[in-house]
Every structure is written in structure tokens, then in C-alpha cells.
Amino acid sequence: MSSISFEKKIAEAFNLKDERWLKHANPWSIWTRFATLPFLVVAIWSRAWIGWFCLIPIAILIIWLFVNPTLFKAPKHLNHWGSKAVLGEKLWSERKTNPVPKHHYTPIHILTILQTLGSILLVIGLWNFHLYLTILGASIVYMAKMWFLDRMVWVFENMKNQHIE
């Protein structure tokens, strides 16, 4: 079994290392990145109107998702809910080397499954131009993600006395 979690691999793909986690904990980084999904949905849906040109806004948004965590300064304090959520995600991604309290595992796994199911509905809706399925999928993704982030705040609060790089 790998000593690196799936979430840690994703964090590495987004180049979230060291001080970049703190930069991403800036509320501007969190909320501007979080707000990207509706734009991505419209960009994908726009293939009905602009054909292959839809790849331009899709590419811009994907680049935005990768660049966003590096654009903002580290926050002056970590009292913001979103900052705690991001740092909780950091702790969760490192759980194989820095154990997270076990009572978080089941809710986090359930919320991850809900996000995945919402994503599947969203993709099916987008693929078939099914408006209600697209909206349902996006709504499930957002609700599960918000609940997940709230759980990450809880993880952060439980572990905040440990060193955060």
C-alpha cells in the first residue's frame, strides 16, 4: 500500500507544497477557485453553440484551477473558515504520515462518494445536454463539497496544534 494518499497525489498535481498551501488558504484563492464550476459547466455546454471553440474557455478555466493556488499571498491569520478548510485538507492529504483522528474517516468517505456521484450526474447531464441532470449533479457536488470543507475545518481544529508548513 502506498504511503501517499490519493488526496496528496492530487495536491502534488496542483503543485500544493509547502508555502503554497498557505497561499491557497487565502480566502480569495478559496472562493475564486470554488466559483469556477458554474463557468466550467457553461463552457462545456457551449459546445452546442460554438462547437470546438468551447475548448478555449475550458482550457482557460483548467489553467485557472492550476494557477489559482499560487496567485494570492498567505493570509494574515487563519481565523477564516475557508483558511481552516484548506489547511484541514492539507492535514487530511497527509493522514498516512500524520494520522487524523479516526472519527473523521467515515463522514469524509461518505462525502467523497457523494461528490463523486454528483460529478457522474453532472458529466452525464453535460454529455446529453440534460439541463435538470446537469443542475442536480452540480448541486450535489457543491453541497457535498461544502459539507466536506466544513469537515475539513473540524479536522483542522482537532489538529491545529500540530505543525502546519
pLDDT of residue 14: 53
Q: Is residue 164 part of a domain?
A: no
Q: What is the pTM of this model?
A: 0.84
DSSP H/E element including 129: none
Instruction: Give the domain range for residue 107.
Output: 6-159
pLDDT of residue 12: 59
Q: Is residue 30 part of a domain?
A: yes
pLDDT of residue 17: 63
pLDDT of residue 7: 63
Q: Is residue 119 part of a domain?
A: yes
pLDDT of residue 139: 98
What pLDDT tens digit does each residue of the chain (165 aa) get? 556 656 656 655 555 566 778 888 899 999 999 999 999 999 999 999 999 999 999 999 999 998 998 889 988 988 999 999 999 999 998 888 889 999 999 999 999 999 999 999 999 999 999 999 999 999 999 999 999 999 999 999 999 876 554
* Close Cβ partners of 139 (under 8 Å, ≥ 6 residues apart): 118
Q: Is residue 1 part of a domain?
A: no
Domain count, the chain: 1
**Burial of 28: CB neighbours in 10 Å, binned 0-12, 13-18, 19+:** middle
pLDDT of residue 160: 82
Distances (CA, A) of 116 to 11, 41, 161: 17, 16, 31
Q: Is residue 91 part of a domain?
A: yes
